[in-house]
Structure 1
């Protein structure tokens, strides 16, 4: 059974069965729907409290409102927009999900500052009384823009990045007018933002969080890990990665990680729509595949081989090459496998000498690391470029 099957067959309300990991995976994908003009916006900051109260008094949106508003070509973003469109229709029809209130939409996109951030809150109003109400605070994962993927790389360079700071501000602010019971979650970069926001939340907010769901989100740079107290959320972080995870293996996290089986292969496993479900939970494996371990060791080894001053320059040069490559999207390059190295190398030839001087030695280091691990095909792509 996959996530679509789950949405069709899950008929109980949240009073009959509490929100779990599969529910969170579905709601994390809802965060990839652009709700401008439909979902009431968040009003962040103390100075906007009157606007916030006014917005809270207005009618909240429902999934059906978003489905009726399907008039924008770019309403569904991310790596699987057609799957998200299909999911929205199932959420509208689902007795379990259709009555959730959609509130507090927030979105920031700034190419110059390398910021791609979005969040939304879903509220369950229980017929059994306010003590059973809860809110799910969801953070959007990476869209397919160069800006979104650039910010992911910046997490490994100079965290906390703007999206992480915005996530912390968003959670602390909207929690003031939400039900006491809180869930926080996200997929891909959204999983990292959910974890970060929960860890740095004010104690009075963090104490209300029942569970944080991180679905194949990247980890944290070592210097930032030293500043984060994971013990404050011990037992409340539910982190999942697929067997052949790539994104979820970037950097590190002390949170326990559960491995989910997927019907796909390779990087296609990043999509939660491919994750296997039995009953009300995922189907778990004992450990990640060797390819996931290889990806973790290769990328971590490569980044550690670059100096603190060199790394930001390499990331700048890398994304200039991605923009010059002619690829239709950043995801096409990031998830392009060995062929991406050749594409970036070829694109770098058309850039200025300074960019080539920064990027080419870094790619050679990546090729050498891959060769040492036995990935001769990747190394050959660089040497042949």
Structure 2
């Protein structure tokens, strides 16, 4: 277990300290993949041409963003950590000259899809494709919950097309990765791409991304891609334990607790590599068992009704981002919408929640009996 009184460097410090070595001097690593995955949360709209021949360097793109007035700059970087990461990347030999191309940012309420990707040109025809995880939009969160009752979602097929297209344009090796849902998209895209592209994929980096339904795990494409997958989880992972996984994983020490460990900036690094632990926490195991028990006791139709009803009520507030849900007016609107619903619609929410509490009780009882 990590010492709560000890703090280790994270990816921003990694870029500052180890960014003096180019990719030719020190080959691309899993930590580099997390740097790219964190960078993908920055909004690059209007700054990245589609043509690789016109692709700007990281330092050029960073200069354009950092020169913006504070409000516009924050709308692009989304967090101070992202801004600091971009600043350090722009100053480093390792990252500043890498070029950016094919930025995509798609939000489709009709498809219930939030998708974003960007490709880094590493030189010599090699590329790193990175998929963004869930952002703060209700569409993005709804898409995540849809994975609980659908074998696939539109964002996964969009990722497959994106990887296949970018890999066909590149002459060299391909790396692919992402954090959270981005990790799920990275694995899925590698599993469904064309057979002639798969041998060129060097690694698929999945940073605390959720897994898949059994239908996906059983596909030949997933079996083929499986040896390429490198999954990394913080010691109290919740998101990365969801749904089905068949790959082995590496446990990374995080400086935060509980769900906050999902934050890639909390993952700790020593001597240029992740600080690795032997096992996940008991709390992570309990949450995983509880959720799996709960899901197994609900039919796909019950899961769909639960998710659809919850998000219909949330959307009735007029909120489009999760951060808006706690605004006083929106809270009152959500409560009012729930109370106005038919008994059937309310049961779509209340019965699964009751089932979740029962599943938690079963898990805790089993845990204490095993421990006694």
Structure-1-length-normalised TM-score? 0.84
Alignment of 1:7-26 (within 5 A): 7-10=15-18, 11-26=20-35
- Residue in structure 2 matched with residue 282 of structure 1 by the alignment: 274
Structure 1 residue 374, shift from structure 2 partner:
3.2
Structure 1 residue 155, shift from structure 2 partner:
1.5
Cα deviation digits, residues 66-102 of structure 1 (max 9, x gap)? 442344342134xxx2211111111111111100000
Cα deviation digits, residues 182-216 of structure 1 (max 9, x gap)? 10000000000000001111111111011110000
For the Cα contact (< 8 Å) 1:156–1:220, is it kept in 2? no
Rate the CA distance shift 1:228–1:74 in 2: closer, same or farther, 3 A. Answer: farther
Q: Give 1:29's match in structure 2, choosing from 35, 38, 44.
A: 38
Structure 1 residue 30, shift from structure 2 partner:
1.1
Alignment of 1:229-378 (within 5 A): 229-323=221-315, 329-330=321-322, 349-353=338-342, 354-374=344-364
- Residue in structure 2 matched with residue 196 of structure 1 by the alignment: 188
Asked whether 1:216 is paired with 2:208, we answer: yes
Structure 1 residue 258, shift from structure 2 partner:
0.8
Cα deviation digits, residues 291-333 of structure 1 (max 9, x gap)? 1111211112112211122221111012234446898953798
- Residue in structure 1 matched with residue 94 of structure 2 by the alignment: 96
- Residue in structure 1 matched with residue 11 of structure 2 by the alignment: 3
Rate the CA distance shift 1:332–1:262 in 2: closer, same or farther, 3 A. Answer: farther
Distance in 1, matches of 2:94 and 2:311, equals 42
Alignment of 1:129-140 (within 5 A): 130=124, 133-140=125-132
Tell me the secondary structure at the aligned position of residue 310 of structure 1: helix
Distance in 1, matches of 2:240 and 2:99, equals 30
Structure-2-length-normalised TM-score? 0.86
Tell me the secondary structure at the aligned position of residue 144 of structure 2: helix
Q: Give 1:110's match in structure 2, choosing from 108, 111, 125.
A: 108
Q: Give 2:140's match in structure 1, choosing from 125, 143, 148.
A: 148
Tell me the secondary structure at the aligned position of residue 293 of structure 2: helix
- Residue in structure 2 matched with residue 49 of structure 1 by the alignment: none
- Bigger drift between 184-193 and 277-286 goes to 277-286
Q: Give 1:171's match in structure 2, choosing from 163, 177, 192.
A: 163
- Bigger drift between 27-36 and 173-182 goes to 173-182
Structure 1 residue 345, shift from structure 2 partner:
9.9
Cα deviation digits, residues 164-192 of structure 1 (max 9, x gap)? 00000000011122231110000000000
For the Cα contact (< 8 Å) 2:48–2:55, is it kept in 1? no
- Residue in structure 2 matched with residue 160 of structure 1 by the alignment: 152
Structure 1 residue 64, shift from structure 2 partner:
3.2
Distance in 2, matches of 1:29 and 1:116, equals 17
Q: Give 1:62's match in structure 2, choosing from 31, 36, 58.
A: 58
Asked whether 1:119 is paired with 2:108, we answer: no
CA RMSD, 1 decimal: 2.5
Rate the CA distance shift 1:276–1:253 in 2: closer, same or farther, 3 A. Answer: same
Structure 1 residue 279, shift from structure 2 partner:
1.3
Equivalenced residue count is: 346
